[in-house]
Chain A
């Protein structure tokens, strides 16, 4: 998993006053497991687009960290 992606996810949690999540994997769900809300997902997509030039939510919502990674990889 891309470390920039993991770092971005952790910083979103920390900004919400949550502890960094342990063991983020491809199956980790953005909403249920990482407790990200729609404002966090919007922030995530802006930060990832600035870093990678890819809008991960452009074609509809993705649910897991692995799906975000796939979009970043252009799959």
Chain B
């Protein structure tokens, strides 16, 4: 079998539930030395469409902007997502990439690629964040020890964490098995059937997946990130995946993945000692690690305070864990919500005079949103379902409060400043 044949058969993407897959060969078809359209701004309806936009941008070293498929039409319009914006640029010359090795070499060598994503912002609209190839690939590991990896894609592919899993798989020619939003039973079956070796997901993902009927030994690596995890979950993960290394990641939208830890304790690696530091129990990142923001939310200055508080768990002051986030974010199953965005959406409703949004803890997703509302006419009754439907047209599902209380005036807010 020639290497070109191998590439054509190697799976790049397959849905956990079965259905149409995409091979590396199907992607390589376009790299034939001819001119093809290239789409600099996309709102991919599914992951194969995302891969078909991402790969040319990477190889050609071009910028790519990803709109979240979850965005409401209104949010898209406000972010400038008009039909013209999603049009193809002038045709580009695609180089000849005849086999998988040439393709992988081209991916690893390409320069000039930037990726713009959107993240929750305090202005009420998602913020635009632009990552360079360097910040995106900083934690991607390549090499022969990774050539047989099979990755579960458990994150939203248009979010930073999803993009990082995609890049890790792509740069090693690995298959991606799409388990994002798949039902528990489908994911459980896919683990063995698709030979998944690596899963990176939120603690909420695993809480919804476990327990499995039988332990799955083929999984070699389990990575947790995006929200706080607990010892109980770690024990259940060890039982479900006895052959896996368990790791925690510290990642942020601003910087991507920064730190990895075996277990709970993080250590600043030697290579990052001049760019990550702890000051007054706050984790600070050097600006060279950060993406570029449109909203100007990252203040100018050498060091950026992540707002994450750390606590040393060894006597020497080198091993630490993240104890609290001092940002206003509410973490709903790994999706971070800025309550100010939801409060603004609530206040846009004619019946609502004021609103306060907060997290209600639960064992399934960590938090769910709840809201206190002051009615515009001072009344006590309101149509909760109608309000939720109204919000659904403007906000992603996890940003819609599930619990409402009508109050005469708002109680003290998260910061203690709002009366």
Contacts and interface: CB of A to CB of B under 8 A. Distances in A.
A46 B183 contact: no
B172 interface: no
Contacts of A58: 363
B236 A46 contact: no
B300 interface: no
B207 A61 contact: yes
B368 A60 contact: no
B360 interface: yes
Contacts of A45: 362-364
Contact of B364 (A14, A17, A32, A42): A42
Nearest to A29: B185
Contacts of A32: 183, 185
A33 to B, nearest CB: 12
B363 A14 contact: no
Interface string A16-37: 0100000000000001100001
Interface string B400-415: 0011000000000000
Contacts of A15: 385, 388
Interface residues of A, number: 20
A64 to B, nearest CB: 12
Interface in A29-65: 31-32, 37-39, 41-43, 45-46, 49, 55, 57-58, 60-61, 63
Contacts of B184: 31, 61, 63
B397 interface: yes
B368 A43 contact: yes
Contact of A38 (B236, B364, B389): B364
A45 B185 CA distance: 20
A57 B333 CA distance: 14
A39 B363 CA distance: 11
Contacts of B332: 39
B385 A39 contact: no
Contact of A57 (B181, B364, B402): B364
A57 B209 CA distance: 12
Nearest to B360: A46
A38 B210 contact: no
B384 to A, nearest CB: 8
A31 B368 contact: no
Nearest to B402: A43
A42 B207 contact: no
Given A15-B388, A45-B362, A46-B360, A39 B368 contact: yes
Given A43-B402, A46-B368, A55 B183 contact: no
B385 A14 contact: yes
Interface in B11-50: none
B365 interface: yes
B368 A38 contact: no
B387 to A, nearest CB: 11
Nearest to B397: A39
Nearest to B205: A38
Interface in B189-222: 204, 207-211
B94 interface: no
A72 B134 CA distance: 51
A39 B392 CA distance: 14
Given A38-B365, A41-B364, A46 B210 contact: no
Contacts of A41: 208, 364
Interface of A: 14-15, 17, 31-32, 37-39, 41-43, 45-46, 49, 55, 57-58, 60-61, 63
6 nearest A-B residue pairs (beta carbon)? A42-B364, A42-B365, A43-B402, A57-B363, A42-B362, A42-B368
Given A32-B183, A42-B402, A58-B363, 8 more contacts: A31-B183, A37-B397, A38-B333, A39-B333, A46-B360, A57-B362, A61-B209, A61-B364
23 contacts: A31-B183, A32-B185, A38-B364, A38-B365, A39-B332, A39-B333, A41-B208, A42-B362, A42-B364, A42-B365, A42-B402, A43-B368, A43-B402, A43-B403, A46-B402, A46-B403, A49-B362, A57-B207, A57-B362, A58-B363, A61-B207, A61-B208, A61-B210
